[in-house]
Amino acid sequence: MPSGINRQWLLAQRPEELPDGLVGEHNFRWAESPIPSPADGQMLLRNLWFSFDPTQLLLMTYYDETNLESPGLPLGGVMRGLTVSQVIESRIPAFRPGDLVHGYSGWEDFSLSDGHGYFETTKVPPGIAPNVALGALGVTGMAAYFGVVEVGKPQPGETFVVSAAAGGVGSIAGQIAKILGARVIGIAGGKAKCAWLTDEAGFDGAIDHHTEDVGERLSALCPDGIDIYFDNVGGALLDQVLERLRSHGRIVLCGGTARYGQKVPPPGPSNYLALVMVNGRMEGLLARDYAARFPEGAAALLPWLRSGQLKSKEDVAVGLENAPKTLARLYTGASFGKQLLKVAEPAVISGT
């Protein structure tokens, strides 16, 4: 049982309206406490890597203890996110000291877990690096994989457009569609991101929403319309795609960064009746619904990663003290690829 101090980030202030009140260090309070001891049915985890995802902003905005599935976070509570951790001490038969596991933990050095939660805690397969387990083979990669193959269902030659295309989910989704034979256009913010999409990720075209008229560029790059749109943004961009949707087009609703954090949400898409005119379909994607099939998704993605067909772009920060600044990068456009933070290396545990 380790002794010492457990460093933590606690939620101190709920987010203000974006983009005027960006998430940052002012939303959190640094604290230190003793390292906890696991009770029966618990394990003590040393957190090694943290995943940062736009929906963490939603976790910070409310707390409802009666919502057993997704209660949010109370003020003064330890901020949480998906992590790869190492089991230090276990009172759960399925987990042993030394195991690397993927699940939810707090923004702290050490966390207690019963192995359950919004996503169940699972062992990281041997030979898979912690950063890959959180990114391309984690919930990020699974959202991309099942959103493409089960909801979008691209056919060879179809036109596939993805927003936030240089982000963790968008970059993988576009590459999967390309591997499956679609023509892929990505929408991202900045010349460097757009260059990576076409030069490294193999996209057929990229649109810089910082400097280009997105509607005009969509018309130029997709003259025959759009078959599939993988939406990570929502808002006005969704309306522009609806105007250009082809017959039997599909829209995968994966995220809505244009709406997160706004006290008064913007109106819904005004062009939704375009779905009627083209027999289109718009379907939400919740990665957790495919949790039982994550091994299937990983089995499909891993050979593509190893062969280089699928490239995993990562943006890695270091140090628990930098967690709030790292989260803020998601909402300023600074993040490029899957946003991760490394806290520690796995320890050598005697007897394992």
Span 237-251, average pLDDT: 96
352 pLDDT band, cuts 50/70/90, is low
Quote the CA–CA distance of 107 and 216 in Å, as a whole number: 43
270 pLDDT band, cuts 50/70/90, is confident
pLDDT the model gives residue 69: 75
Pairing of strands 80-90, 43-51: antiparallel
**Residue 350: other Cβ atoms inside 10 A:** 7
Closest C-alpha to 144, from 201, 192, 104, 205 = 201
Long-range contacts of 149-154 (CB under 8 A, 24+ apart): 149/176, 149/180, 149/300, 150/290, 151/250, 151/252, 151/283, 151/285, 152/177, 152/228, 152/230, 152/250, 152/252, 153/228, 153/250, 154/180, 154/181, 154/182, 154/227, 154/228
DSSP 3-state of 100: strand
Span 35-63, average pLDDT: 94
266 pLDDT band, cuts 50/70/90, is low
Span 220-234, pLDDT tens digits: 999 999 999 999 998
pLDDT the model gives residue 265: 65
Span 171-180, average pLDDT: 98
Quote the CA–CA distance of 98 and 13 in Å, as a whole number: 36
197 pLDDT band, cuts 50/70/90, is very high
pLDDT reading at 264 higher than 70: no
pTM of the predicted model as reported, rounded to 2 decimal places: 0.93
Q: For the structural domain made of 5-135+313-342, what CATH number should be given?
A: 3.90.180.10
Q: Where are the domains of the chain?
A: 5-135+313-342, 139-289
Span 241-263, average pLDDT: 85
pLDDT the model gives residue 271: 85
Least confident of 144-153, 262-271, 304-313: 262-271
pLDDT reading at 19 higher than 60: no
Q: For the structural domain made of 139-289, what CATH number should be given?
A: 3.40.50.720
pLDDT reading at 17 higher than 70: no
2 pLDDT band, cuts 50/70/90, is low
Among 2-6, 23-27, 173-177, 253-257, the range with the most confident prediction by mean pLDDT is 173-177
Span 206-223, average pLDDT: 97
250 pLDDT band, cuts 50/70/90, is very high
Report the mean per-residue pLDDT for the chain.
Answer: 93
Span 49-53, average pLDDT: 96
Paired with 82 in beta bridges are 104
Q: Which residue would you say has higher pLDDT here, 71 or 83? A: 83
DSSP 3-state of 274: helix
- Between vectors from CA 27 to CA 23 and to CA 33, what angle results, nearest 5°? 135
263 pLDDT band, cuts 50/70/90, is low
pLDDT reading at 139 higher than 70: yes
b (16+ CB within 10 A) / e for 106-137: bbbbbbbbebeeebebbbbeeebebbbbbbbb
Pairing of strands 28-34, 5-11: antiparallel
